[in-house]
Amino acid sequence: MKCSLMNPLKGLAIAGLMANAGGAWALQTVEGRDGVSVDAAISIKEPTRIKVEGASITDVFGNIYSSNCGGPAPVATPKGGGANGVNYGGEVVLECDRDKGEIYVKPVGNGTKPVNLFISTANATYTLILRRVDMPADTIIVRDRAVAAATAATAANSRMGGAGNHVKSIKTLLAVMASDKPAADVRVQDVRRPVELWQEAQFMLLRTYASRGMVGEKYMLTNSSKEPMVLAEQEFDRDSNDVLAVSIENLNLRPGESTVVYIIRTEG
CA distance 268 to 258: 30
Phi and psi at 194, nearest 5°, equal -65, 140
pLDDT digits 0-9 by tens, 34-57: 878 899 999 999 999 999 988 899
pLDDT digits 0-9 by tens, 24-35: 445 888 888 887
pTM over 0.85: no
pLDDT digits 0-9 by tens, 192-240: 999 888 888 999 999 999 887 889 999 999 999 988 888 877 777 655 5
11 vs 51, higher pLDDT: 51
pLDDT digits 0-9 by tens, 69-119: 765 444 433 344 455 668 888 999 999 988 899 999 999 988 889 999 999
Asked if the model's pLDDT at residue 187 lies above 70, the reply is yes
Distances in Å between the Cα of 161 and the Cα atoms of 167, 168, 243 are 11, 11, 18
- How many helices (H) and strands (E) in the chain? 3, 18
- Tally of CA atoms within 13 A in the half-sphere of 147 that contains its CB: 19
Residue 43: predicted pLDDT: 94
